[in-house]
Amino acid sequence: MKIITFMRLKPGKPPAMVSFIFLLFSTFTSAKEQTLETGNLNNKLTHYLISNNSVAVKNILQTCGECSQFIDPLLLEWSNGILARQEKNYAESIRHYRKVISIHPDWYSARLQLATVLYLNKDILSAEAQLRKLRSESLPEEAAVLIDSFIAKIQKTDNWAFRGGFTYLNEKNINNAPASGRSIGRWKSEKPQSGKGVMFWGEAEKTFSLPDNLFGITRLATSGKVPGSGLTDPLHPLMSHGHQCRPDILTVNSGFLPALLNRRTGTVFYRQWLTERYNSVVKDCRFLFL
């Protein structure tokens, strides 16, 4: 049995349902969000922020010039969060979003966008926490259903995954004997020996999300050979010519690899590898006559 614990990077993107959620939130805002719409500039910018329209937000800020001093500072913070996300500077984007919702925790659109950026930044636990806070509010039924689907998708990140396979072996020269009749001095080559059996492997893997861009994967794996008629391990010490019964060898490899990585950058903090090999000898005189 091979047991592997390690961390690895998993590139991802927000589910397609997020775009539809943003569309719903563009028509459903809290009362405090609506109070920001004082003046044409803030009115337009608020609409683009709620609908997560990064292109329109960027155009307003670029064409505004000196009039940016009349924009609500918190709207500028939100705008910077959207623009940083567009440039894939997720850490900076998260900082802006957290400042916005720390002052106005009932700005649901900003919280949803924060959850999405956290998901993109591979901070799965924090993304789920933000979605659950959002889900606890009074939302339209359509938005609530889609947020539940988003949460379910995130939770599936930590599901068990199973893989495996096997190969049927029918070897005609398992002892790697040279061409029959070859000799050097008094040495004469053995005759090729045939054998049958099955080689197998299997894995069970589970992801564990951790805070601060860390996550782990525990992998349980096994691989080996099930001997059949004449299928043996010629390197095993019991395979000497002095034995009356030729043993078949059931070989299973095992190992343990604990490691810790940063989920986003792939930085390795700890890793150690240990392996063992187990040989189970099965003697059977029926396999003696090859």
Q: Which residue has the higher pLDDT, 97 or 209?
A: 97
Q: Is the pLDDT of residue 256 over 60?
A: no
Residue 272 carries which DSSP code?
Answer: -
CATH 1.25.40.10 domain span(s) along the chain: 11-156
For residue range 5-19, what is the model confidence (pLDDT) as tens digits? 333 334 444 555 555
Query: For 224-234, what is the mean pLDDT?
Result: 56
For residue range 72-109, what is the model confidence (pLDDT) as tens digits? 899 999 999 999 999 999 989 999 999 999 999 989 89
Length of the chain in terms of residues written: 290
- Return the biggest CA–CA distance within the chain: 104
Rounded to 10 degrees, what is the CA torsion of 40, 44, 50, 51?
160
Confidence of residue 21 (pLDDT cuts 50, 70, 90): low
Query: For 224-237, what is the mean pLDDT?
Result: 53
Residue 49: predicted pLDDT: 93
Residue 237 carries which DSSP code?
Answer: G
What's the CATH fold of domain 11-156?
1.25.40
Query: For 49-63, what is the mean pLDDT?
Result: 90
What does the alpha-carbon distance between residue 236 and residue 240 come to, in Å, rounded to a whole number? 8
Q: Which residue has the higher pLDDT, 48 or 170?
A: 48
